[in-house]
Structure 1
Amino acid sequence: MKLYIAEKPSLGRAIAEALPKPHKKQDGFIEAGDGSIVSWCVGHLLEQAEPEDYDPKYKKWLYDDLPIVPENWQFKAKAKTKKQLGVLTKLIKRAKIIVHAGDPDREGQLLVDEVLQHVGLSSSQKQNVQRLLVSDLNVDAVKRALTVIKSNQSFVPLSVSALARARADWLYGMNLTRAYTLTGQKAGYQGVLSVGRVQTPVLGLVVKRDNEIKAFVSKPFYEVFAHLHTEELQPLVAKWQPSEACLPYMDEEKRVLVKALAQNVATRVKGQPAEVVKLTKKPKKQSAPLPYNLSALQIDANKRYGMSAKQVLDVCQALYEKHKLITYPRSDNRYLPEAHFHESRQVLSAITNNNGCDKGKVENADLSIKSKCWNDKKVAAHHAIIPTSKKLKSAQLGQYEQQIYKLISIMYVAQFYPAYTYNETVAEISIAGGMFIAKAKQITNEGFKVLFGKERHNEGADSTFLPPLVEGQQLLCHDAQIQEKHTQPPQYYTDASLLAAMTGISRYVKDPEIKKILKETDGLGTEATRAGIIELLFKRGFLLREGKLIKSSDVGKTMINMLPEALTLPDRTALWESHLAKIANKECSYQNFMEPLITQIGEVISTAHLTENINFKGLAKPNNKRRFKKRRKNTAKT
């Protein structure tokens, strides 16, 4: 018997649809006409055992018991899905061929592998385990995937990498949460102070931003604009470019802080002749943005509709599993397999049918255009999130579902539109020894931007004009104007900007080697976990919402101030990801990753034991009494 094990029921049903009929639905599985059986997990059926599962003494949190490092790691069945684990156990023991159909990512690989390991396979079964990768739940796409099944042996290193990550997060989160919760208790704080490899640096980002805003003092700065005209009295305005001699009077952003200097320049140039000393005209081109990955979609949806990262992920799951209108949503990739290009006509037809984009704009799509998104070399386990060829028979989508579907659809349609092009003219003008610059932009083709409206235009994207100029041309500066502006504080985080910070975390790292690693990896967290990490920080009372703004609570601030700085920075994630990638590529062993980590955790626990923080005294724990006990059991989360 051939057994397909899907990651979740929706994928299981999609696989069954692609197998011969008739189908017989059973409790927890589907039997196909050819005798194959399709069953499924319901997410993770197993979870890491708790410290008290290894030894009852760990129910009480004590410094002396730390670090807790299991000699023989244990999984245990989740209570809510124990029945389905039982169904799979019986089916696995009967199966001659097992097809692993977890989601196409590191976590999806481990999710099914851990069930196979838990149940135990015979040697012949181990040799025959196959791997099915499905990213589109429509029947034709699943049938195509079934023709390219691979050996699961090829994915063992990926599974080991995922297992190393899960165990490392357990050791890190479980031990350091206990250590710093005990430190908080010494100061009279009664809440749980959870520490995680990802959640703590994310909280650190918010606390640092809040502190910068609190400490910010606005300063005035000054810009000088020369009002000129040609001999034919055609007007133009040019902005002063301070020279190196002005550096003592400027800030690090090269803004002039001394008003007298700006006044002196304005007085000196007013009424003086001017000369165009350099004129450059360049054609500029901007190609359509790549189709979405999850983070880019969450960022745009927050900006456009105010949706949280978690809301966007939930809507995407419904569009993927329930409606089958989009491909796998937890993707970190923005490229598409070249073979998908041949399905574009059907996808565009579905977009029109499902009101994903105006019919006229879809009809104007040029299928002879093949954007840079079609690139097999840049597609790994996932590809970009795009619409499928599924057509709805009637209006079945809710408001948020329709909004997200439209965002995904328009981004796909954009791949068949020409580039946005314009000519940029820059005139460098000398006035009384000072240098001024005037710029203009003439749009030559709106290209893909007609799909997005004004919100996708960069500032100043509309055409601006200069009179005809040539190098050496004489002008007259008939007036000069000083504009006083004020430096602005950083803005509080929103869901969009916090997600952008997590994906572009390398910007916040100084070490060039670590910066490089973070640029090459997913950043802080993964596409699948970022929304959950942000929500977790809210649930634990470390973050607060004020409208669209995200701020740190008093407990969150105090905790970050108490922790060693190394725990609050993203550097550790970069180092972990580097090692985990090497494990997946067979360049590093599991032991070489785990052993130094255990030593480091012991050193941090020693530091925690010696830490005193009176600032926790008097702070009330977050009002989440119903979740408090549950939180104690989930401290291993990232």
Structure 2
Amino acid sequence: MRLFIAEKPSLARALVDVLPKPHQKSDGFIKAGNGDVVTWCIGHLLEQAEPEAYNPEYKKWSISHLPIIPNEWKLVVKPKTRKQFTIVKKLIKEADVLVNMGDPDRVGQILVDEVINHAGVSKAKREAVQRCLISDLNPVAVKKALNNLRKNTDFIPLATSALARARADWLYGMNMTRLCTLQGQKSGYSGVLSIGRVQTPILGLVVFRDLEIEDFVSKPFYEVLATITTKQGETYQARWKPSAACESYMDEDNRVLSKALVENVIARIKGKEGKITAVKEDKKKQAPPLPYSLSTLQIDASKRFGMSAQTVLDTCQQLYERHKLITYPRSDSRHLPKEHLNDVKQVTAAIGSTCAGLRNAVENANLTLKSKAWNDAKVTAHHAIIPTSKSSDTSRLSSAEANIYELVARQYLMQFYPAFEYMEKQVDTEISGGLFIAKQKEVVSDGWKVLFPTKNTTSKNSDDDFSAKKLPNVRTGEHIQCINADLISKQTTPPKYFTDATLLSAMTGIARYVTDPTIKKVLRDTDGLGTEATRAGIIELLFKRQFLVRKGKEIRATDVGRQLITTLPKQMVIPDMTAHWESQLEAISQREMKYSDFMNPLTDRLNQLLNDVQQVSFRGLQGKGSFNPKPKRRAKRN
């Protein structure tokens, strides 16, 4: 008997629909006509054991117990799903061949692997497990996945990375939450001070941004805009570029802070003759943006519709599981396997049938084009989020579902449109020894940008760099006249408060917020905090714990969140350490690092941090909080 173990019932149903009939439904599983059996988990059937499972004394929170580091890790059956685990375990024992049908990501991989291992199967049976990767719940796609089973052992690095992540979260979150809560109680705080390997640095980003805005002092700065006429009587404007000799009058962003300096420049150039020193013209092409990963979709949906990250994820799950209109949504990939080119006609036809607003876009698409999205080398367990070949009546979709589907579909259709082309022109002018630069961008071909709605802020029409007024046709060496010069007075502005979109963007490109140059050096621009599947949940968790609050679209830290971050040791609240850990976890999944090389230094660092936190006092939280001796069982700690 071949047993398929799905991550959730919806995935199991999708597989059963393509298996031979008759289907014999039983409690917790379904048997197909060919003898195959399909069962399912309900998310995680197992969970990390609580500290008291290792020692009953740990049930009482005490600093003397810390650090709690298991010698042998224990998993326990979740009480709410014990019945289903018993059914799955029995079927595992009876099966001849096991198939891991978890979602195509690291969590889906280990979720089923742990159940198989916990059932106590033999080494030989474990090594013979197969892997079924399903990212599209429509019958054709499911059949294709069923015909392309892989060895489950190929995914050991992915499972190892997930295991290391789960244990790191447990070690860090459980130990630090207990210590901070106990220290907080000593200082008069009545509540849990929850700490997480990812959540705490994310809270830190918000707190430090809030403080930066509050402490910001606006400064005036000045620019010079010269109005220039050519021998042919054509005029254009050019902006002064300060030379190295002006550095002492400028800030770190190269803005001139001295009004007297710019007034002197104006006096020197007004009415004076100059000459053209350089004319540069460059035709540029901008390829269509790649299809969406979950984070990039969440960022765009937040900007376009004001949707929270969690709302976008929930909507995607409905489009994937219920409507079967998009592929697996919890993806960090923006690329597609080349074999998907075989489905292009069916997918684009489904888009035209489902989304009236994109019918013209479908009709005008050039399906012979192939963008850089199709790249087998950049596709692992999952690929970018794209529409499926299934169409639907839009009346069946909620407003949020229709909006998200249209975003995903438009991004997919862009792959079949030519590049956006524009001409970039720059004229450099010298007047009285000063350099003045004029730039102009002119659209040559709209390309994929024709797909943007006119109201979309990312369309070319809203780009200030694209001017309706063209620069004159001048040549190097040509003499000109400066007929006027204006002093432009501006004020520096503070950074903006985080929103869902900008906080997600920070989480997915965390390298720019890392301060340690040695850590920054090993990070890629795409390295992030958390995973595609967890980022929305972490943000929402910070709201639930009342560390963050929304003010319109802005995300702000509460007083408790601020006091927590400003009291903890710096290394716990900046993203450096966690960003490095995330990079190492990715290296484990790519076979570039061993589990022990990640976990051993982590436990050493934990001891150091525990010592540091014992030296701090949470006096700023005195009298705050509501008494709650410890988090509910299995509270998220990451």
TM > 0.5 fold call: yes
Look up the match of 2:498.
493
Distance 2:377 2:357 in 1: 29
Aligned residues: 633
Distance 1:120 1:249 in 2: 72
Look up the match of 2:569.
564
Q: Please give the secondary structure, in 2, of the residue aligned with 1:280.
A: strand
Q: Could you report, residue by residue, the CA deviation over 1:366-405 in whole angstroms, capped at 9, with x for unpaired residues?
A: 0111000011111111110000000115621000000000
Distance 1:50 1:507 in 2: 36
Q: Which amino acid aligns with 2:118?
A: H
* Bigger mean CA offset, 386-395 vs 38-47: 386-395
Q: Please give the secondary structure, in 2, of the residue aligned with 1:312.
A: helix
Deviation at residue 521 of structure 1 after TM alignment: 6.0
The reply to whether residue 415 of structure 1 matches residue 426 of structure 2 is no
> How does 1:375-390 map onto structure 2 within 5 Å?
375-390=375-390
Deviation at residue 557 of structure 1 after TM alignment: 1.1
Q: Please give the secondary structure, in 2, of the residue aligned with 1:455.
A: coil
Look up the match of 2:457.
455
Q: Please give the secondary structure, in 2, of the residue aligned with 1:388.
A: coil
Look up the match of 2:108.
108
Distance 2:64 2:137 in 1: 51
TM value normalised by structure 1: 0.96
Distance 1:238 1:606 in 2: 59
Look up the match of 1:503.
508
Distance change in 2, residues 1:495/1:587 (3 Å): closer
Check whether the contact 1:291–1:411 (CA below 8 A) recurs between aligned residues. yes
Distance 2:583 2:529 in 1: 13
Distance change in 2, residues 1:186/1:236 (3 Å): same
Distance 2:277 2:404 in 1: 50
Q: Which amino acid aligns with 2:601?
A: P
> How does 1:307-318 map onto structure 2 within 5 Å?
307-318=307-318
Check whether the contact 2:497–2:556 (CA below 8 A) recurs between aligned residues. yes
* Bigger mean CA offset, 600-609 vs 548-557: 600-609
* Bigger mean CA offset, 515-524 vs 593-602: 515-524
Check whether the contact 1:188–1:616 (CA below 8 A) recurs between aligned residues. yes
Distance 1:185 1:613 in 2: 9
Look up the match of 1:621.
625
Look up the match of 1:535.
540
* Bigger mean CA offset, 348-357 vs 312-321: 348-357
Distance 1:378 1:408 in 2: 20
Deviation at residue 574 of structure 1 after TM alignment: 3.4
RMSD, matched Cα: 1.7
Q: Could you report, residue by residue, the CA deviation over 1:456-475 in whole angstroms, capped at 9, with x for unpaired residues?
A: 23632534411221112222
Deviation at residue 44 of structure 1 after TM alignment: 0.5
Look up the match of 1:519.
524
Check whether the contact 1:227–1:478 (CA below 8 A) recurs between aligned residues. yes
Check whether the contact 1:20–1:33 (CA below 8 A) recurs between aligned residues. yes
> How does 1:340-351 map onto structure 2 within 5 Å?
340-351=340-351
Look up the match of 1:285.
285
The reply to whether residue 573 of structure 1 matches residue 575 of structure 2 is no
Distance change in 2, residues 1:271/1:388 (3 Å): same
Deviation at residue 184 of structure 1 after TM alignment: 1.0
Distance 2:525 2:248 in 1: 39
The reply to whether residue 547 of structure 1 matches residue 549 of structure 2 is no
> How does 1:172-187 map onto structure 2 within 5 Å?
172-187=172-187
Deviation at residue 572 of structure 1 after TM alignment: 2.2
Q: Please give the secondary structure, in 1, of the residue aligned with 2:251.
A: coil
Check whether the contact 2:511–2:579 (CA below 8 A) recurs between aligned residues. no
Q: Which amino acid aligns with 1:448?
A: W
Deviation at residue 270 of structure 1 after TM alignment: 1.1
Look up the match of 1:93.
93
Look up the match of 2:487.
482
Check whether the contact 2:270–2:482 (CA below 8 A) recurs between aligned residues. yes
Distance 1:352 1:630 in 2: 53
Distance 2:483 2:305 in 1: 47
Q: Which amino acid aligns with 2:466?
A: D
> How does 1:253-292 map onto structure 2 within 5 Å?
253-292=253-292
> How does 1:353-392 map onto structure 2 within 5 Å?
353-355=353-355, 357-392=357-392
Distance change in 2, residues 1:241/1:37 (3 Å): same
Distance change in 2, residues 1:180/1:17 (3 Å): same
Q: Which amino acid aligns with 1:155?
A: F
Q: Could you report, residue by residue, the CA deviation over 1:254-283 in whole angstroms, capped at 9, with x for unpaired residues?
A: 111111111111122111112111101110
Q: Could you report, residue by residue, the CA deviation over 1:403-422 in whole angstroms, capped at 9, with x for unpaired residues?
A: 00000000000000010101
Q: Which amino acid aligns with 1:483?
A: I
Deviation at residue 576 of structure 1 after TM alignment: 2.3
Check whether the contact 1:356–1:410 (CA below 8 A) recurs between aligned residues. no
Deviation at residue 40 of structure 1 after TM alignment: 0.8
Identity between Structure 1 and Structure 2 (%):
54
Q: Could you report, residue by residue, the CA deviation over 1:568-618 in whole angstroms, capped at 9, with x for unpaired residues?
A: 122222332344344445554433432332232222222222222321223
Distance 2:258 2:207 in 1: 33
Q: Which amino acid aligns with 1:97?
A: V
Q: Which amino acid aligns with 2:10?
A: S
Deviation at residue 148 of structure 1 after TM alignment: 1.4
Check whether the contact 1:224–1:481 (CA below 8 A) recurs between aligned residues. yes
Look up the match of 1:210.
210
Q: Please give the secondary structure, in 1, of the residue aligned with 2:142.
A: helix
Look up the match of 1:631.
631
Q: Could you report, residue by residue, the CA deviation over 1:285-328 in whole angstroms, capped at 9, with x for unpaired residues?
A: 11100000000000000001000000000000000000000011
Look up the match of 1:594.
599
Check whether the contact 2:116–2:126 (CA below 8 A) recurs between aligned residues. no
Distance change in 2, residues 1:394/1:206 (3 Å): closer
The unaligned stretches of length 5 or more in structure 1 are: none
Distance 1:456 1:441 in 2: 16
Distance change in 2, residues 1:202/1:358 (3 Å): same
* Bigger mean CA offset, 481-490 vs 232-241: 232-241
Check whether the contact 2:61–2:178 (CA below 8 A) recurs between aligned residues. yes
Q: Which amino acid aligns with 1:510?
A: T
Q: Please give the secondary structure, in 2, of the residue aligned with 1:519.
A: coil
